[in-house]
Structure 1
């Protein structure tokens, strides 16, 4: 039987939206006499995760916020409304503005030479990639990265166009099972409109672009460029920078195999990972 530890230290709700979210969950749960175990069951998670969310130590998945709105009679959708703020706080400060833009973008055009971009990484692939930097908040970063992907699954999804080097499909991240699931995810996207995936075949010659970058387009307003760099990425909004990025992306698409040929490439390499 789970024993509630109501003396557990919690974060000051004024510290961050993440701490505020957790404090609001705890106040409502205690007011209604609902145990952490019961809330966890409704949210399909464990007692420990509920405790960590309440103390502001873990990022809540969207299904957790939805469970709170179901269980707390007078929530009125408050926790789902608070969720995007809590989610963005999980990212490094320099990345939060990008996440805000990504959430409202009508389309994303991304290029990556070595890795599957975070917007389409499976949970296991994301964990393997993020673990290499030895972060102290690994699980929070994984949750935040995976939850970003909801922009591709909502009723009016953000349109994604990916251009990847063939090396992305062959660079081993994690074990074979991790790669198998990640390639299956890419294959699904490649076969699911409105998304497009193109692969640049490895023909032995470097095409000249080594830095990952993306273009964000909006229903209203100009495009924005995001460059994924070390130690931190950055945004570009100047007209000349956006034009140069569009030109570079057009050239990369021209070098890549067609969407149908790219789908066949992914499927072929995926078969190598089957037991």
Structure 2
């Protein structure tokens, strides 16, 4: 456990955040409990963040900035903290997400992390390892802040129909996740197409992949395997994956038909009535 008296602000972004939080709290003459009461968090959580044992969230940072009058300092620092908490092999990809003007992704088995709900993200991250699950979930969800930028990227998701039926987190979590996808129906910057079972053999059978497009830099393809990621700007690979994506987009349902399928699965498979009548071993 990190002791507050030896916390090194140069050790990591998380340590620096904790050091600054403690410094400004003490300058305001507040105890951890008092600050917690002001921002509607427990004093224990404030203490854990100050000692770099918990990862702060953007919401926590905004509330503390307002309470301590720190002019957005912690809200700026939290971006660095959250990125530093990603697996080392994924940090480069998170940086690509921030810089990209357009992200095109094909996903075979589950919803892409940039569109996951909290319940769905917790279920995917906790499938085999539940350590620090709250922090890891917060870090994943924080990546979605790229959609709040003044110029957010255009996001295209082609999702295999199988992902709609892969029950992750239980019926309620799936209802929430599919409803979340439907919430983007009228957003021209976030587009979701479903690749139906009826498409048969398709250009994405080799696996999920992402394409990142930039204003002045070469396109990048990203693929993933267990515990490692593989970004590449190799022109041949980019050309091949771009062609595959074009064919996947052509084989997928239209935006409107995709939304109708998502809505139908949400209601029939994960709806309130569907829960009561489903075979528990299905």
Q: Which runs of 5+ in 2 are unaligned?
A: 273-282
Counting only pairs closer than 5 Å after superposition, residues 79-98 of structure 1 correspond to structure 2 as: 79-98=74-93
* The one of 222, 225, 246 aligned to 1:226: 222
- Cα distance, 1:103 vs. partner? 1.3
Return closer, same or farther for 1:44/1:165 CA change in 2, 3 Å cut-off: farther
* The one of 244, 248, 264 aligned to 2:244: 248
For the pair 1:102 / 2:97, whether they are aligned, the reply is yes
For 1:140 and 1:58, the matched residues in 2 are separated by: 7
For 1:258 and 1:51, the matched residues in 2 are separated by: 50
Question: Which residue number in structure 2 is paired with residue 159 of structure 1?
Answer: 154
Question: Which residue number in structure 2 is paired with residue 169 of structure 1?
Answer: 164
CA contact (8 A) 2:199 2:251 kept: no
* The one of 46, 53, 59 aligned to 1:50: 46
- Cα distance, 1:213 vs. partner? 1.0
Using the size of structure 2 for normalisation, the TM-score is: 0.88
CA contact (8 A) 1:191 1:263 kept: no
Cα RMSD of the aligned pairs, angstroms, is 1.9
Counting only pairs closer than 5 Å after superposition, residues 58-137 of structure 1 correspond to structure 2 as: 58-73=54-69, 75-137=70-132
* The one of 235, 238, 248 aligned to 1:239: 235
For 2:200 and 2:178, the matched residues in 1 are separated by: 24
CA deviation vs aligned residue, 1:220-256 (integer Å, no higher than 9, x gap): 2121111122231121112222111211111111110
* SS of equivalent to 1:21: helix
For 1:132 and 1:11, the matched residues in 2 are separated by: 33
Counting only pairs closer than 5 Å after superposition, residues 179-258 of structure 1 correspond to structure 2 as: 179-203=174-198, 205-207=200-202, 208-258=204-254
* SS of equivalent to 1:234: strand
Return closer, same or farther for 1:117/1:22 CA change in 2, 3 Å cut-off: same
Return closer, same or farther for 1:41/1:223 CA change in 2, 3 Å cut-off: farther
Question: Which residue number in structure 1 is paired with residue 279 of structure 2?
Answer: none
- Cα distance, 1:44 vs. partner? 4.3
CA contact (8 A) 1:211 1:228 kept: no
- Cα distance, 1:43 vs. partner? 4.1
CA contact (8 A) 1:36 1:47 kept: yes
Question: Which residue number in structure 2 is paired with residue 140 of structure 1?
Answer: 135
Counting only pairs closer than 5 Å after superposition, residues 14-33 of structure 1 correspond to structure 2 as: 14-33=10-29
For 1:168 and 1:243, the matched residues in 2 are separated by: 26
- Cα distance, 1:52 vs. partner? 2.1
Tell me how many residue pairs correspond in the alignment: 268
For the pair 1:271 / 2:275, whether they are aligned, the reply is no
* SS of equivalent to 1:108: strand
